A and B are shown apart, each in its own frame.
Chain A
Amino acid sequence: MYAQALNVAEKAHADDPELRARFQARVDAEEKIEPNDWMPEGYRRTLVRQISQHAHSEIVGMLPEGNWITRAPSLKRKAALLAKVQDEGGHGLYLYSAAETLGVSREELVGQLLTGKAKYSSIFNYPTPSWADMGMIGWLVDGAAIMNQIPLCRCSYGPYARAMIRICKEESFHQRQGYEIVMTLAKGSPAQKKMAQDSLNRWWWPALMMFGPSDKDSQHSDQNMAWKIKRFSNDDLRQKFIDATVPQGHFLGLTFPDPDLRFNEATGHWEHGPIDWSEFNRVVRGEGPCNRERLKARQKAHDEGAWVREAALAHAEKRAARKAAAKIAAE
């Protein structure tokens, strides 16, 4: 955002222990860290990685749903889906902007996505072969995203927290429109109900994986908790999501594809069976069903949009030059 030059100057004494201690005290006191404040290099790096991955996820996330815009079953559904996908594009922008305040350029970030150097949420590497998937994505994927994002509204880094507040306000519509689609199908003909059930069967486990590896295998957690980038552990958030979502599914008469799923009266939580982390790792490594297709689509959009960006810049330069010439002529 503003006055980024200051950021560069500060990198020089990035690991001064006294500055680190003062920084931690500010974080502990729930003060927000702002772009030009001193911050440890690791904090900056972690945030750039996390915020840009998050931004990439919003942008790539437009693809599986974009797949159905032209085939939505009614004008109402089409308008809603279009508005949702447009929101996701906006979310990408808010997040890229937040990442840029840390001294990386938009071009750099987009480059990292297109070359495969940066990751995005593995959920978007699954295909959307049926209309029910539009409902399931809204209900489960946006629902899981909301669980993850609400605590991020209190993240110690100001620009990220502010972007998340805006995003969370918009996400609620996404989840509700998704649930409404699933509900319509679940209460429809047997064929429609089957569509909803099939879709739930495909999306349930990938949605649970959205919260990331189990706490015992997660490498970054402790430091990120201390820095207040993260407020809850992966497993805690996953449990919250399951507890909220399972009754919503049962209300629709749907069954979750987990034979071990059961309610524990003593704890008040839904217990789930083992998650297949080998699948998660495969998809993260790039071997999911749609990894190649997603990156190809982003690359194509980037290439085919190049002339628009060039023309817009050329036009702006021409107009600026004309204005300057007119000014000289007038003097």
Chain B
Amino acid sequence: MTDKTMTEKTMPLWEVFIRSRTGLSHRHCGSLHAPDAEMALQAARDVYTRRGEGLSIWVVPSSAITASDPQDKDALFEPTASKIYRHPTFYEVPEEVGHM
């Protein structure tokens, strides 16, 4: 706050994704500021993997993410509610056939 030098420039924001030991895909776990990708990775390792949370980290510049607009939520995601035939429980299989 005392000097308004280069630090007043904002540090880029990164989104952090981690793949856990369980073999599931990378999952968003948070974000952080860092000057470049390399330091973002280092910081992500320090902050988001302190207790064996993962075996692989992705960092992505937040500005590179295109998100769906919440205003379109109904148009995008409502139609799926009526398509119950996409679920296995929609179909009847006689009990004698056993587990399917």
Contacts and interface: CB of A to CB of B under 8 A. Distances in A.
Given A37-B70, A90-B50, A313-B6, A100 B1 contact: no
Contacts of B3: 303, 306
Nearest to B5: A310
Contacts of A114: 1
A3 B31 contact: no
A37 B69 CA distance: 9
Contact of B15 (A1, A86, A87, A319): A1
Contacts of B69: 6, 36
Interface residues on B, range: 20 to 34
A2 interface: yes
A187 interface: no
Contact of B5 (A107, A299, A306): A306
Given A94-B30, A106-B11, A303 B6 contact: no
A170 B69 CA distance: 33
A18 to B, nearest CB: 14
Interface in B27-47: 29-36, 39, 47
Interface string A297-323: 001001100100110111110011000
Nearest to B31: A97
A114 B3 CA distance: 13
Contacts of A1: 13, 15, 31, 62
Contact of B13 (A100, A306, A312): A100
Contacts of A170: 51
A312 B2 contact: no
Contact of A87 (B7, B29, B35, B50): B50
Interface of A: 1-3, 6, 34, 36-38, 83, 86-87, 90, 93-94, 97, 100, 105-107, 111, 114-115, 163, 166, 170, 299, 302-303, 306, 309-310, 312-316, 319-320
7 contacts: A2-B62, A86-B50, A93-B47, A306-B3, A310-B7, A313-B35, A319-B36
